[in-house]
Amino acid sequence: HTKGLEFGESRQSELLRTKETHKLSAHAKERQQQHPCSECSKTFSSKAQLSKHERTHSAQRPFQCPDCHKAYKTPTELRNHSRSHTGEKPFVCTECGKAFMQAICLRIHMTQHSGERPYSCRQCSKSYPTLSKLKVHMRSHTGEKPYFCAECGKSFADPSVFRKHRRNHQGHRPYACDECGKTYTELKDLKNHERSHTGEKPYLCSDCGKAFSRSSSLACHQRIHSQNKPYQCEQCGKGFTQLSSYQSHLRTHSGEKPFLCPQCGKMFSDPSSFRRHQRAHLGFKPFSCTECDKSFAERSSLNKHRRVHSGERPFKCEECLKSFVVSSSLRKHERTHLHPKPRPHVCSSCGKGFLNKSGLHDGSDFFKITFKKFYIESVSCELLAVGHCFILPLHIYEKCFI
């Protein structure tokens, strides 16, 4: 019996060894084999990888989100999507502590610390951390927009922008703002919007200290410091940091105005002016001043208005140190230094020069002026009594109401 038992154990061990040898050799052969996709001829080292790939060709989406019922082709895609509902960000940057929902987003972010941008554009030398981002950028040169929306006919160069646009048609906007009720398709868009109410600006420019509510706004701003203007107008040589600004500028040469208001028929050359105009029809002014309860259609207009109350004049001329409330006034003023015009008509009292004689006002004790919204009637000025002159309305305002 003992001999038989030993023989049985020996036989079992031999069978196990044979099984292991078979598994190793069989799987080694499988790894050596190439499993081609019948749709695109792409090959894979295992049948499991091939099956996963084949789902990209089929319309089958077996993995459904229980929160919004959106379906995905793989469980990995579903897990990544689920984090948009939970807000979970398990992938943390060891350099700065910033967290991300997906591993690929962290890898792309890490290139900001390493400075690695191996994919360069041959046309403008701009470089990118990933090949996919370079491909999207290349379309800005070719004008190619391969992603077509069947709902409205609009085309897109960037697949992520296209997917976001599609959600607007689907009408599913689960993320609502508690302050104003505005809804969004993605949690990150809601977070960005909420900063318009809180005033939070977490993205700080390391060059000038200016703060921004969005990382994309900071990235655009930083191009000003780097002087990187990849989009250059062939007609006048003017350079631009953003493709959208460049395209709007080209329309100033062509006269094209593709944005038509359906309510009044007015046409616009750039989308931002068109949106501002539409808000005027709707009467939608969500940005209110806490000082005087005046409302505005855009946050930028509110910020400019607030300077009326604060007296802030943040835009300063480097030549003469004169400061201005808005940047457009500074740019207009700076041109006077670049291309100074002769001012032959000089005020005998203060020595201030004017471009034409109509800028002078002599010999009257009483006058009417309009300055912005202020209508001033029968104002007596002691300077006028001795024949001093003024340009209307600004010079009068400066002398009479200091």
At 341 the three-state DSSP class reads coil
Could you report the per-residue pLDDT of 268-300, keeping only the tens digit for each? 888 878 877 887 787 777 778 888 888 887 777
Give a yes or no: residue 71 inside a domain: yes
Give the residue from 99, 116, 133 where a domain finishes. 116
Could you report the per-residue pLDDT of 326-364, keeping only the tens digit for each? 888 888 888 777 766 777 778 777 777 776 666 555 433
Give a yes or no: residue 156 inside a domain: no
Give a yes or no: residue 86 inside a domain: yes
Q: Are residues 317 and 352 in the same domain?
A: no
**So what's the pLDDT on residue 159?**
87
**So what's the pLDDT on residue 28?**
52
Instruction: Indicate the DSSP class of residue 71.
Output: E
Q: CATH no. for residue 86?
A: 3.30.160.60
Give a yes or no: residue 149 inside a domain: no
Q: Are residues 391 and 355 in the same domain?
A: yes
User: In whole angstroms, what is the distance from residue 54 CA to residue 285 CA?
Assistant: 50
Number of domains observed in the structure of the chain: 3
- pLDDT tens sequence for the chain (402 residues): 554 445 455 555 555 555 555 555 555 544 456 788 887 778 888 888 888 777 777 777 888 888 888 888 888 888 888 888 888 888 888 877 888 888 888 887 887 777 778 888 888 878 888 888 888 888 888 888 888 887 777 788 888 888 888 877 777 778 888 888 888 877 888 888 888 888 888 888 887 888 888 887 887 777 777 667 777 888 888 888 777 788 888 888 888 888 888 888 888 888 878 877 887 787 777 778 888 888 887 777 888 888 888 888 888 888 888 888 888 888 888 877 776 677 777 877 777 777 666 655 543 333 334 333 333 443 444 444 333 344 444 444 444 443
Q: Are residues 355 and 379 in the same domain?
A: yes
DSSP letter string, 180-224: T--EESSHHHHHHHHHHHH----EE-TTT--EESSHHHHHHHHHH
Q: Give buried/exposed letters for 106-133 (b at 16+ CB in 10 A, else e).
A: bebbbeeeeeeeebeeeebebebbeeee
Give a yes or no: residue 322 inside a domain: yes
Give a yes or no: residue 388 inside a domain: yes
Q: Are residues 60 and 110 in the same domain?
A: yes
Give the residue from 116, 141, 171 where a domain finishes. 116
Give a yes or no: residue 289 inside a domain: yes
Give a yes or no: residue 34 inside a domain: no
* Token pair belonging to 226: 């780097």
Q: Are residues 56 and 112 in the same domain?
A: yes
State which residues form the domain around 392.
Answer: 343-400
**So what's the pLDDT on residue 190?**
87
Give the residue from 320, 340, 360 where a domain finishes. 340
Q: Are residues 80 and 94 in the same domain?
A: yes
Q: Are residues 333 and 351 in the same domain?
A: no
Query: Are 132 and 118 spatial neighbours (Cβ–Cβ below 8 Å)?
Result: no
Q: Are residues 356 and 394 in the same domain?
A: yes
